[in-house]
Structure 1
């Protein structure tokens, strides 16, 4: 991972390969740090503006050669778009695309101002957080498994965040640390998401979680098929029935609250866990007996990205020492066709005690999540957030721009939605009216697991809410945002770790409010 430093000093005195400054759209005479660099370069940036080569439009980048007039070898000017539309999410995005452009130019040592902390009027510490987080997010790449040498872009070894004022620099250092920890947690989660099914089974995912917990001070517990059967996790075990790989239930505990107990049972002292996170750990999904088309089935290695987001969020929560007790549950298996597989028409009882008629074995994510949620409720969860690549329907509803949100409690939804906004991530609420339960009606069981095309994303959320016993729950459907099929100006193709930052922000907001 790239080393991150906050440096106090004059922007023109920084020794680096590429120095990143910025420009709002419509600015004809740059000010602040960009203006200082322009003056040191004899008006080179102003000349480019007058010539129309620099406009400040969103996503625009231009590299200028300094000719030895400042210590940086090159200056990259990044367009910020319209000032009225510029916020922390845009800080993250412009930092990512600028870092990638700098790396593409051959840089191994990059310096930047904190985007938006000057004329943009954003809080310097938060601007630093999003600048560092976005930079490292943009620089991420998955090592993969290629044996032939590949022409690689250089590794960026150092990223310097520059601030002239010492007092502001001290505040920005804490923000930069937060940004670094979030980016590192996201990179770890993206690595998990990018691993193919033969290199990340449920047992392997559990091993990775345990190793991470050991390194960060989390408590870890892993339940195997025998423990799951004793508990009554019939839905998880049904999905696992066709697999040669045994299921796992990964349980992590962060005891950050002031009055944390350490009861041997895992039950949190003092009235339950203020927050529990439950993520879908479906390491590969063929659809089971209701098998998927072969086209793009390889993308189903990403079906565990919800679980990866939960595990990555717990890593960041531990490293940030969030003063809140947080429980995480990730049920993990793959979904394979076999003579022993569960079948459409089967009726299965879950840990919640509710029975489910199977209409489609390709609606398996909600089944394993139902048992994960019921386990969290059994452990004393007072609020729940669940995240998963649950339905293809969310892409029809929202495209790949926003993830879907459903909730059984308005106040809890508002808190999680505010956390998403704070984290720079974007969701959109779908309804979960009682009338939608009709779509799950079964003549032989408490409910079906769905299978109808209409309101498919809503069906998934409403199904989950039947297994939480009334505990306030928000469901995040990230099926359309969990991975990129093609690289962009801001990130490589593959897993995105979407939702991770929302989960961390939810925990931090809840901690700040006293749990």
Structure 2
């Protein structure tokens, strides 16, 4: 429909009444008005009377296009569709005109004649409409999706500072340092660095920024910026990443086209120079993400600058390793931004099926093989927990399975990554409060982390086998939704009494962990925006870490290096008592006390005694307040941790126990 027009005159509304009253054979199509500008075509897949008010058939046939909602605003489609209907109407009128004489002599044949006419006309119409929509642009919510992760080149150079070809040369500066720390900077700016330090205009506190012009005509950089790095003793890769991100965000606000970040070899301390170089490349890349992808009134954001990492005072060997690290950091930063892009998508665009489609495309680009299980395959596997959560939504669930099998990789160990993929969480029947519910579009951040980590694992060519599992669905309060008191049977055979339908993430992860084990995983990590209790305990800075002794220590070390702060929490056996059930094996929630711990205890039931770690990223997946190094919006947490973990198998211990 065109804007301002009335809805189609549904001349075939009699057909809909006939379908409901008499039933129709398969293949017929009925139009139903949805709103003033849209028509939904429902294809009849069986006699109407067999549906009995249930939506099972609609759900099971969702992928066959039974709900063909299309917005007929596209000029390329509208003329074709209207032309088809005019022809069919005229043809139908001629047929009905010729049938009037027959009706007068044999009125008993009228229903059958109408049935035949309606069936043939509408079967032909729906096929032509489908072809027209395919030939034009098939308008739907998913066509609104945009790509916000914009990449710019990142190079590494060992040139002298005066020879770095850039618009802004950024140098970290520590508290207490005088102009003699990098004397050539003060000379090139005609003493401006010394003046700013002496006047306390620049005190080198973390994230302080001082920018001045270069007056020495022999220098290629046009301006110099000092970024406050705080105390030298605490400087490391985590702070280097944050400072680089802060610099990148500031440079974009100033529309600077070329930026070089200087790594001072004298400032590396105990941190290897290549680790600092990787962190800086990650940080500069993270600054490229823009959360306002759907804004139309604001001017477009500045394109990210061309980045350079300048390694000052490094040996040839150090520079070679730093160059490789910059490329690695660039890739990990890009994958983190892709996860942020997925988590930022509205729930009406990123449905489970669309999530699966996009995840597949991202992973395949990294050389990862992907399999997407539909609702029928999920049912054959017996994933009753996932199917139970999915019952309340008209969107069918999906399980996204990623496999990385490098040539020559040993049979074990195999890393299994499992991510929560709830594309929107209303809480179900135990519905959430309206305030803040819009944020529940990011309840698939764990699944996004797994998908994008698998992409990085493939591109970086991890030496071991890795499998990823993302169970994806919506948690909605539909007429068939899960209810408190319901009992579900998991794929592992364990039964669960549902106490709170808003504790759905652990349900889908339970089936996901089981499936990762079936695929051969020997070490498990799951990541999820799981509990508000984790936010209460650790705030918005740190993710909760739970799991097996030994294996949790390994995950913690990798996470700290990757810049994903985690903190281990206990899993004492006594916490198991809080999820006991009188009717089933256990409940899906243990109450308010130790809520994040009892959620982890629930997941532990599905690990089969394998080394396992659980990351609760409920507080860290989304930034509610802007920081110098992180704007409001999705953070991309856990992507780098999961990817880097696949390169540490030489440190894994077979004796890690649950």
Fold shared by both chains (TM-score > 0.5): yes
CA distance in 2, matches of 1:153, 1:15: 24
CA distance in 2, matches of 1:257, 1:388: 31
* Number of residue pairs the alignment of both structures matches: 500
Alignment match of 2:370 (pick from 220, 244, 252): 220
Kindly report which structure 2 residues correspond to 1:54-133, keeping only aligned pairs within 5 A, or say none: 54-67=202-215, 69=217, 70-114=219-263, 117-121=265-269, 122-133=271-282
CA distance in 1, matches of 2:289, 2:276: 20
Paired residue for 1:496? 635
How far does the alpha carbon of each residue in 1:36-84 deviate from its partner, in whole angstroms, 9 at most, with x for none? 2223223321221111111111121111122454322221100110111
- Residue 322 (structure 2) pairs with residue 172 (structure 1): yes
- Whether contact under 8 Å (1:360, 1:451) holds in the other structure is no
**Shift in CA distance, 158/453, structure 1 to aligned 2, threshold 3 Å:** same
CA distance in 1, matches of 2:527, 2:267: 37
- Whether contact under 8 Å (1:125, 1:172) holds in the other structure is yes
Q: Shift of the alpha carbon at 1:511?
A: 5.3
How far does the alpha carbon of each residue in 1:379-428 deviate from its partner, in whole angstroms, 9 at most, with x for none? 12111000000000111100111100111x20111111111122122111
In angstroms, what is the RMSD of aligned CA positions?
1.7
- Residue 551 (structure 2) pairs with residue 412 (structure 1): yes
CA distance in 2, matches of 1:232, 1:417: 33
- Residue 568 (structure 2) pairs with residue 429 (structure 1): yes
Paired residue for 1:263? none
- Whether contact under 8 Å (2:551, 2:652) holds in the other structure is no
Q: Shift of the alpha carbon at 1:154?
A: 2.0
Kindly report which structure 2 residues correspond to 1:239-278, keeping only aligned pairs within 5 A, or say none: 239-256=389-406, 258-259=408-409, 270=411, 274-278=414-418
- Whether contact under 8 Å (2:189, 2:212) holds in the other structure is no
CA distance in 2, matches of 1:440, 1:302: 27
**Shift in CA distance, 200/9, structure 1 to aligned 2, threshold 3 Å:** same
TM-score (norm 1): 0.94
Paired residue for 1:183? 333
How far does the alpha carbon of each residue in 1:411-468 deviate from its partner, in whole angstroms, 9 at most, with x for none? 1111111111221221111111110001101000000000511100001100000011
Q: Name the stretch that deviates more: 490-499 or 329-338.
A: 490-499
Alignment match of 1:394 (pick from 517, 534, 556): 534
Question: 2:647 is paired with a residue of what secondary structure?
Answer: helix
Paired residue for 2:511? 371
Alignment match of 1:193 (pick from 323, 343, 351): 343
Q: Name the stretch that deviates more: 105-114 or 314-323.
A: 105-114
- Whether contact under 8 Å (1:217, 1:318) holds in the other structure is yes
TM-score (norm 2): 0.74
- Whether contact under 8 Å (1:140, 1:492) holds in the other structure is no
CA distance in 2, matches of 1:68, 1:468: 64
- Residue 468 (structure 2) pairs with residue 468 (structure 1): no
Q: Shift of the alpha carbon at 1:513?
A: 6.0
Paired residue for 2:17? none
How far does the alpha carbon of each residue in 1:345-373 deviate from its partner, in whole angstroms, 9 at most, with x for none? 00000011110000000000000000000
Paired residue for 2:59? none
- Whether contact under 8 Å (2:268, 2:276) holds in the other structure is no
**Shift in CA distance, 302/134, structure 1 to aligned 2, threshold 3 Å:** same
Q: Shift of the alpha carbon at 1:139?
A: 2.7
**Shift in CA distance, 488/152, structure 1 to aligned 2, threshold 3 Å:** farther
Q: Which runs of 5+ in 1 are unaligned?
A: 261-269
- Whether contact under 8 Å (2:365, 2:455) holds in the other structure is no
- Residue 472 (structure 2) pairs with residue 323 (structure 1): no
CA distance in 2, matches of 1:118, 1:402: 31
- Whether contact under 8 Å (1:117, 1:123) holds in the other structure is no
Kindly report which structure 2 residues correspond to 1:435-514, keeping only aligned pairs within 5 A, or say none: 435-450=574-589, 452-510=591-649
Q: Which runs of 5+ in 2 are unaligned?
A: 1-150
- Whether contact under 8 Å (2:179, 2:186) holds in the other structure is no
Kindly report which structure 2 residues correspond to 1:325-344, keeping only aligned pairs within 5 A, or say none: 325-344=465-484
- Residue 293 (structure 2) pairs with residue 144 (structure 1): yes
- Whether contact under 8 Å (1:276, 1:382) holds in the other structure is yes
Paired residue for 2:492? 352
- Residue 524 (structure 2) pairs with residue 384 (structure 1): yes
- Whether contact under 8 Å (2:188, 2:215) holds in the other structure is no
CA distance in 2, matches of 1:415, 1:467: 21
Question: 1:129 is paired with a residue of what secondary structure?
Answer: helix
From the CA coordinates, give the structure whose radius of gyration is larger: 2
CA distance in 1, matches of 2:168, 2:430: 53
Structure with the bigger RCO (C-alpha within 8 Å, sep 6+) is 1
